Amino acid sequence: MGGRTIKHILIALPELNEGHRERLRAAGAGNDIRFVEANEVAPADIEWAEVIVGNVPAPLLHEPGKLEFYQLCSSGADAYVAEGILDRRTILATCTGAYSQTVAEHALASTLMLQKNLHLYRDAQRRHEWTDMGRVGTMEGAVVLVVGLGEIGCYYARMAKALGAYVIGVKRRASEKPDYVDELYLTAQLDEVLGRADVVMSVLPGSAATEHFYTAERFRAMKRSCIFVNCGRGNAVAMDVLEQALRGGEIACAAVDVFEIEPLPASSPLWDLDNLLVTPHASGFYHLPATVERMVDICVKNLAAYLAGGELMNVVDFNTGYKK
């Protein structure tokens, strides 16, 4: 904590109401607090701050030497662990857990939409065509492979299991298998189970280790009837590789919320694929009111804990980009 008793705290959180602000003021009581909209943060604000709460544009940071603690409002930290952004002595924490429900429910809704051909029926509706789209799938008895069994992956796995799926989880570090997961493997073992999946749901974070994780070879290893859902990071899948897998019938269809280039360029051929459901990185935003409440809860608790010298949640390892 250093010798200072009064900290300069910059709060740049979205969607705040006065009740949220009061909770943040209470957590930082006795310190100098400045509320600024994230897109209005100036270099002078960053130079002033010893604590930042919220995602200010990463290029503004330039390793600010005074910054002791940075509490992100996102679950991902990839933009902030890059070289030249934050001093490695800065404690960095995320809002992992705040987005679990909204992202997992979006992923499940996308899965069911594709299983039931609802995307095709919507297309037919726009053409004013009364067309039966044929056979559909079900979660009952489906093998669902969740790649990235963190907070979001676990939430999705619980819902899939409740609908009768056989759930296989893949994660980076070994841990005890949750009751709602039938089999658990390490990331290095993915290729052993990839070909068994009827649904592959990916929530991998963005890092050097996950860039272009889903290679052409891995798509070819999947069942031709497989549904691929990506609500993690866009860099896990090269867009040309995804296009080839869908055009070539290597997988049946996909629902993708994240892309290597965002916004997805209007000229991208991905827009025109009938077997691809595109959403604009909307699964983890603040459309679900409960997400904002969870985000504020985490920020309030971590701010209070930092100022009191207590234990912090979701502290990030700069070397891996993952939670420690």
Residue 132 pLDDT: 98
Q: Domain check: are 134 and 225 in the same one?
A: yes
Q: Domain check: are 176 and 165 in the same one?
A: yes
Distance CA 231, CA 128 (A): 31
Domain assignment present for residue 318? The answer is no
Q: Is the peptide bond before 263 cis (omega within 30 degrees of 0)?
A: yes
Q: Domain check: are 22 and 82 in the same one?
A: yes
Q: Of these residues, 21, 25, 220, 281, which one is catalytic?
A: 281
User: How sure is the predictor about 208, in pLDDT bands with cuts at 50, 70 and 90?
Assistant: confident
Residue 235: is its pLDDT beyond 90? yes
The residue segments making up the domain with residue 63 are 8-98+288-308
Number of domains, the chain: 2
Domain assignment present for residue 256? The answer is yes
Tens digits of per-residue pLDDT, 236-265?
999 999 999 999 999 999 999 999 999 999
User: How sure is the predictor about 1, in pLDDT bands with cuts at 50, 70 and 90?
Assistant: very low
Q: Domain check: are 216 and 174 in the same one?
A: yes
Domain assignment present for residue 149? The answer is yes
Task: For residues 46-68, give the mean pLDDT.
Answer: 96
Q: Domain check: are 179 and 265 in the same one?
A: yes
Residue 209 pLDDT: 87
Q: Domain check: are 135 and 224 in the same one?
A: yes
User: How sure is the predictor about 230, in pLDDT bands with cuts at 50, 70 and 90?
Assistant: very high
CA dihedral 19, 23, 28, 31 (to 10 degrees): 30
Q: What is the pTM of this model?
A: 0.95
Domain assignment present for residue 245? The answer is yes
Domain assignment present for residue 202? The answer is yes
Q: Of these residues, 8, 233, 250, 294, which one is catalytic?
A: 233
φ and ψ of 87, to 5 deg: -60, 135
Task: For residues 53-73, give the mean pLDDT.
Answer: 96
Q: Is 158 a catalytic residue?
A: no
Domain assignment present for residue 321? The answer is no
Of 237, 246, 281, whose CA–CA distance to 262 is shortest? 281
Domain assignment present for residue 215? The answer is yes
Domain assignment present for residue 117? The answer is yes
Q: Domain check: are 254 and 213 in the same one?
A: yes
Mean pLDDT, the chain, whole residue set: 96
Residue 90: is its pLDDT beyond 60? yes
Q: In sequence order, what are the residues at sequence separation of 6 or more whose Cβ sits closer than 8 angstroms to the Cβ of residue 182?
A: 161, 166, 167, 168
Q: Domain check: are 140 and 244 in the same one?
A: yes
Q: Is 262 a catalytic residue?
A: yes
Q: Domain check: are 247 and 122 in the same one?
A: yes
Listed in order, strand segments (DSSP E) in 172-310 are 183-186, 199-202, 227-230, 253-256, 276-278
Q: Of these residues, 262, 287, 294, 311, which one is catalytic?
A: 262
Q: Is 233 a catalytic residue?
A: yes
Residue 173: is its pLDDT beyond 70? yes
Tokens of 157: 């796995």
Q: Domain check: are 174 and 78 in the same one?
A: no
User: How sure is the predictor about 4, in pLDDT bands with cuts at 50, 70 and 90?
Assistant: low
Q: Domain check: are 93 and 111 in the same one?
A: no
Q: Domain check: are 224 and 295 in the same one?
A: no
Residue 175: is its pLDDT beyond 80? yes
Give the domain CATH number at 220: 3.40.50.720
